[in-house]
Structure 1
Amino acid sequence: MEFNKIISVTGKPGLYQVVSQSKNAIIVEALADKKRLAINTTQNVSLLENIAIYTYEEDKPLLEVFTAMFEKTAGKEALSHKESGKKLAAFFATILPDYDVERVYSSNIKKVIQWFNLLVKAGMDFSKVEVSAEDTSEITETE
Structure 2
Amino acid sequence: MQLEKIISISGKPGLYKLISQLKNGFIIEDVLTKKKTSISNSSQVSLLDNIAMFTFDKEVPLFDVFENIAKAKDYKETISHKSSDADLKEFMLEALPDYDTGRVYASDIKKLAQWYNTLQKAGYITPESFVKAEEAAAEEAEVAKEEKAEKKSAAKKAAPKAEKPAAPKAKASTSAAKSAPKSTHRKQG
Give the % identical residues.
46
1:25 Cα deviation from its structure 2 partner: 1.0
Q: TM-score, normalised by structure 2?
A: 0.69
1:135 Cα deviation from its structure 2 partner: 3.5
Aligned amino acid, residue 33 of structure 1: T
Aligned amino acid, residue 105 of structure 1: Y
Higher relative contact order (CA 8 A, sep 6+): 1
Q: Which whole-Å CA distance do the structure 1 matches of 2:97 and 2:43 have between them?
A: 34
Contact 1:66 1:126 (8 Å CA) reproduced: no
Matches within 5 A, 1:8-47: 8-47=8-47
Q: TM-score, normalised by structure 1?
A: 0.90
Q: Which whole-Å CA distance do the structure 1 matches of 2:64 and 2:134 have between them?
A: 10
Contact 2:3 2:130 (8 Å CA) reproduced: no
How many residues align? The count is 137
Q: Which whole-Å CA distance do the structure 2 matches of 1:126 and 1:59 have between them?
A: 23
Aligned amino acid, residue 127 of structure 2: S
5+ residue gaps, structure 2, are: 137-189
Once superposed, what is the RMSD of the aligned Cα atoms? 1.6
Contact 2:2 2:130 (8 Å CA) reproduced: no
**Structure 1 runs, 4 residues or longer, greater than 4 Å off:** none
Aligned to 2:108: 108
1:94 Cα deviation from its structure 2 partner: 1.3
1:133 Cα deviation from its structure 2 partner: 4.2
1:49/1:126 Cα in 2 relative to 1: closer, same or farther (>3 Å)? farther
- Greater Cα shift, 26-35 or 109-118: 26-35
1:61-119: CA deviation from partner (whole Å, max 9, x where unpaired) = 00100000000110100011111111011111111110000100000000011000000
1:109/1:134 Cα in 2 relative to 1: closer, same or farther (>3 Å)? farther
1:134 Cα deviation from its structure 2 partner: 5.5
1:49 Cα deviation from its structure 2 partner: 0.5
5+ residue gaps, structure 1, are: 137-143
Matches within 5 A, 1:112-123: 112-123=112-123
1:130 Cα deviation from its structure 2 partner: 2.6
